[in-house]
């Protein structure tokens, strides 16, 4: 039973990383405009995050130390600060969007304007981080977030033409209104969303929070191989629902409420209620992840005491930093900025930062001083190098595509 609940770390990371507020809308947008023709980008991203998260988890289990501690020590502060700067700013943007995502989900439940929920959402996130044990946090948020499986249930209830969906995935969707540049913009966005840097920092730091050792390497692999593919399947189910219902009607998704339309058609109010509860849990899980990741990255780089396994008084700067980040996120949202647009832009900038994130992890995972006999094998290094080429291509293309397409408009 303990090992089964241990997999919740991967589930929480996957749901927070793949199915946050930006992904809920982005996958629906892609499904409504391109069907399942961009499903390959999700699959490529899932494989990539599995490759590098497995390394980060193994490094943490073997060394007993989190990613940023080792990156700073192995590569030196000058190189590591580039990684830190890029990762922290993207994480802060994502944190802002996730707080907004929780507020938007609560708006669906209450019909109260989401801006009124923003301060309460941030306060709830802080109270959980301050008072709730890490194991309870990950189990509750991760397992309740699994209610998003309702999107897969909804897809089956819609009785789609599976052959047509398969044709879309292989051959694409015929359209005269979408540009090639827009197609590739969303491909990079989906790939960047799947491999968002904070996922590996949270996963690595969570392994230290849980006290993993070399004996837990099998559990680490289980987290990766269960959690991240599950997040990818949920993303494909969201896109599939939109492809079945919204694409034929040429309905463009511009709000979270429109993501719910296929679910409401498929399963009525009951399935809709289940999905909304799953969205609240998933966005809250993502908000918890990004808030903790903000504290993890800075504290680990500067050598401060960190972690929920320490009482707040023993890691005061770690907790103060998270409070400041939450306040910044709330202040940004109260200006009226759209949290969905913030997330969509943040995943593009995530793609830009990917080389700075994953190359250091690959270097540390191959260092026998830290890893001993658990260094990467040749096959894993070969796959990782292929992904570094893909990551570099996505990083180079991201900003030009953002400008050319007007953020996918």
Predicted confidence band of residue 123 (pLDDT cuts 50, 70, 90): very high
| 175-199 tens-digit pLDDT | 667 788 899 999 998 898 888 877 7
pLDDT of residue 9 exceeding 60: no
pLDDT number for residue 1:
47
pLDDT number for residue 14:
56
pLDDT number for residue 174:
63
pLDDT number for residue 333:
94
pLDDT number for residue 176:
65
Quote the CA–CA distance of 158 and 164 in Å, as a whole number: 14
| 39-81 tens-digit pLDDT | 999 999 999 988 988 888 888 888 888 877 788 888 787 877 8
Number of C-beta neighbours around residue 409 at 10 A: 6
Instruction: Tell which wins on pLDDT, 153 or 216.
Output: 153
**Distance between terminal CA atoms of the chain?**
48
Quote the CA–CA distance of 247 and 17 in Å, as a whole number: 26
Helix%, strand%, coil% for the chain, nearest 5: 85, 0, 15
DSSP 226-245: HHHHHHHHHHHHHHHHHHHH
Predicted confidence band of residue 230 (pLDDT cuts 50, 70, 90): confident
Predicted confidence band of residue 18 (pLDDT cuts 50, 70, 90): low
Number of C-beta neighbours around residue 405 at 10 A: 16
Among 181, 193, 163, 172, residue whose Cα is nearest residue 44: 193
Mean pLDDT, residues 16-37: 81
Min mean pLDDT across 21-30, 145-154, 240-249 is at 21-30
DSSP 322-349: HHHHHHHHHHHHTTT--HHHHHHHHHHH
Predicted confidence band of residue 172 (pLDDT cuts 50, 70, 90): confident
pLDDT number for residue 2:
47
Instruction: Tell which wins on pLDDT, 158 or 80.
Output: 158
Predicted confidence band of residue 7 (pLDDT cuts 50, 70, 90): low
DSSP 41-69: HHHHHHHHHHHHHHHHHHHHHHHSS-HHH
Q: Provide the token pair at 351.
A: 């793609």
| 326-338 tens-digit pLDDT | 999 999 999 988 8
pLDDT number for residue 330:
96
Mean pLDDT, residues 96-119: 90
Helix axes 339-365, 180-194, angle to 10 degrees: 60
| Contact indicator for 192, 18 with CB cutoff of 8 Å | no
pLDDT number for residue 5:
47
User: Which single residue is written with the structure tokens 């030009």?
Assistant: 400
Q: Is residue 33 exposed (0-12), middle (13-18) or buried (19+ Cβ within 10 Å)?
A: buried
Q: How far is CA 333 from CA 95, 151, 342, 404, in A?
A: 11, 28, 10, 27
Q: Provide the token pair at 97.
A: 């969007």
Percent residues over pLDDT 90 in the chain: 31
Quote the CA–CA distance of 226 and 244 in Å, as a whole number: 27
Mean pLDDT, residues 254-269: 86
Among 401, 390, 404, 402, residue whose Cα is nearest residue 47: 390
Mean pLDDT, residues 337-364: 82
pLDDT number for residue 115:
93
Mean pLDDT, residues 148-170: 90
User: For the chain, which domains are there?
Assistant: 2-405 (1.20.1740.10)
pLDDT of residue 205 exceeding 90: no
Q: Supply the mean pLDDT for the chain.
A: 85
Predicted confidence band of residue 226 (pLDDT cuts 50, 70, 90): confident
């Amino acid at each position: 039973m303990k090992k089964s609940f241990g997999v919740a770390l991967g589930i929480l990371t996957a749901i927070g990383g793949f199915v946050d507020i930006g992904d809920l809308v982005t996958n629906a947008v892609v499904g409504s405009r391109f069907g399942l023709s961009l499903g390959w980008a999700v699959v490529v991203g899932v494989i990539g995050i599995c490759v590098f998260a497995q390394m980060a988890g193994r490094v943490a289990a073997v060394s007993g130390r989190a990613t940023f501690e080792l990156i700073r020590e192995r590569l030196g502060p000058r190189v590591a600060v580039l990684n830190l700067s890029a990762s922290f700013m993207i994480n802060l943007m994502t944190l802002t969007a996730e707080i907004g995502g929780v507020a938007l989900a609560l708006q669906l439940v209450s019909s109260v304007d989401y801006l009124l929920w923003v301060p309460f959402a941030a306060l709830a996130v802080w109270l959980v981080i301050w008072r709730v044990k890490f194991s309870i946090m990950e189990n509750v948020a991760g397992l309740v977030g699994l209610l998003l499986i309702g999107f897969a249930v909804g897809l089956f209830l819609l009785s789609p033409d599976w052959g047509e969906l398969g044709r879309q995935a292989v051959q694409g969707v015929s359209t005269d209104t979408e540009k090639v540049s827009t197609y590739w913009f969303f491909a990079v966005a989906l790939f960047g969303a799947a491999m968002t840097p904070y996922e590996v920092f949270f996963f690595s730091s969570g392994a230290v929070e849980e006290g993993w050792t070399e004996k837990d390497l099998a559990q680490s692999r289980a987290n990766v191989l269960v959690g991240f593919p599950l997040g990818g399947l949920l993303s494909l189910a969201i896109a599939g629902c939109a492809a079945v219902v919204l694409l034929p009607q040429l309905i463009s998704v511009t709000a979270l409420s429109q993501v719910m339309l296929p679910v409401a058609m498929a399963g009525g109010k009951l399935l809709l209620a289940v999905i909304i509860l799953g969205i609240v849990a998933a966005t809250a899980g993502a908000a918890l992840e990004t808030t903790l990741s903000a504290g993890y990255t800075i504290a680990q780089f500067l050598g401060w005491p960190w972690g929920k396994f320490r009482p707040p008084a023993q890691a005061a700067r770690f907790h103060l930093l998270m409070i400041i980040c939450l306040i910044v996120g709330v202040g940004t949202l109260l200006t009226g900025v759209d949290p969905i647009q913030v997330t969509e832009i943040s995943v593009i900038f995530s793609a830009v930062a990917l080389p700075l994130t994953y190359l250091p992890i690959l270097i540390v995972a191959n260092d026998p001083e830290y890893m001993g006999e658990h260094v990467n094998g040749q096959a894993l290094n070969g796959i990782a190098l292929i992904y570094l080429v893909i990551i570099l291509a996505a990083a180079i293309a991201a900003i030009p595509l953002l400008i050319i397409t007007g953020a996918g408009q």
